[in-house]
Amino acid sequence: MIPEFFRETLWGELALLLIIAAVSLLVSKLVVFVFDRLLKALTRRTHTTLDDLLIGALRRPVFLFAAVIGIYVALTAVNFLDQHQSKITSVLVATEMALVVYGLNRVVGAVVQWYLTEVAPRTESTLDERLLPLGRKVATGVIFGLGALMVLRALGVDITPLLAGVGIGGLAVALALQPTLNNLIAGAFTVSESKIGVGDYIRLEEGPRSEGMVHDIGWRTTKIQTPLNNIVVIPNARLADTIVTNFGAPSPETLAVISCGVSYESDLKHVQRVADEVARHVLKETRGGVPNAEPLVRFQAFGESNIDFDVLLPVQSYGDRFAVTTAFIQELHERFRAEGIEINYPVRRLITTPEHNAGAPLDPRMAGGVPSTKGTTSG
């Protein structure tokens, strides 16, 4: 029962409005407190985090829902707003619908987070981990789109022409949104086919200038963080059509390949033994190397100045190549100097015939008086 002195003047009714609104906010806080404590006491007996995530997701919508009801009670308790009660009721229904949509979106986010945290790591396939973030974004758009229609209808807006116009204008909208839809579908196919995922180090067909860590896969674009700490934004449709090298698949481990060469006078078996010892030491002592892996030393070709060989060092990820390569080159160079193994500068040696050195006639095949050479070797 409301005291009559609140009804006597406009100021009295305004005071009543503020009092009821303040009490409703306190009641809303109490409702959230009871909701939080009671449900948390029940969820302590469970072994999953889903219920905790759901409570956290619903805490704010429940508070706002209760607060809006309290404010509605305050607005209907005063007489000077009687002529606007129908509008107030419509706004209340629309607001509560918007809060329901808001809460539903938070619940979907909590379920996705729970699945990615608890369920996805136990599955054999990584498809769910790749598709769920994109599906979460699509679900958000659908939920808020339908929610907007519900709110408009609660406010008295006739949405029938709007729904009818969807069929008529659907073709025009589809044509206008064709690039966006192409990128969205391409992003879904890219993720579903396990082509790339967030955290993978990739290189596009353009070469080393278009490589880096996948930072995010969105509706329309994919963002790559380059080694220079820049973000490259690539449309998903273009990413789906280009050749992509994924250095994180099928496993993060890869090889660091270092090319070198030694002089022709070197004992190649000794060179191979020294390079193998250095490689094993670097893999054990350098961060990013695979300690117990077997490095490979393979001679490749007779070069112009050296006998060329490659050293293949297993590393834990593509980004670890740089540190391991640097450590190996430094240590191998120091070891070669200690062992007396020579790495030649580019050299070209000319060997002339003894007859020419004794003043023999010039080779008639040579023009312009240029001395003939028996042959050219590299060393």
Does 307 have pLDDT greater than 90? yes
**Domain 254-339 in the same topology as domain 193-246:** no
Does 341 have pLDDT greater than 90? yes
CATH of the domain spanning 254-339, picked from 3.30.70.100, 3.30.70.270, 3.30.360.10, 3.20.20.70 = 3.30.70.100
Residue 100, Cβ neighbours under 10 Å: how many? 14
Average confidence (pLDDT) over 87-102 = 83
243 versus 296: the higher-pLDDT residue is 296
At residue 25, the pLDDT reads 76
At residue 175, the pLDDT reads 54
Average confidence (pLDDT) over 324-343 = 94
Contacts of 109 (CB under 8 A, 6+ apart): 57, 136
Average confidence (pLDDT) over 120-140 = 72
pTM (2 d.p.): 0.48
Question: Is the preceding omega at residue 250 within 30 degrees of 0, hence cis?
Answer: yes
Residue 190: which of 211, 212, 220, 213 has the closest Cα? Answer: 220
Region of poorest pLDDT, from 55-59, 121-125, 132-136:
121-125
Kind of pairing between the strands at 254-262 and 307-315: antiparallel
Q: Would the CA dihedral through 109, 111, 117, 119 be positive or negative?
A: negative
Does 51 have pLDDT greater than 60? yes
Region of poorest pLDDT, from 86-95, 161-170, 234-243:
161-170
Distance CA 108, CA 57 (A): 9
At residue 182, the pLDDT reads 67
At residue 305, the pLDDT reads 86
The CATH code of domain 193-246 reads: 2.30.30.60
- The pLDDT tens digits for 225-245 are 888 888 888 887 777 777 888
Domain positions in the chain: 4-176, 193-246, 254-339, 348-378
Region of poorest pLDDT, from 17-31, 109-123, 275-289:
17-31
Name residue, tokens 């704010």: 60
Average confidence (pLDDT) over 176-205 = 70
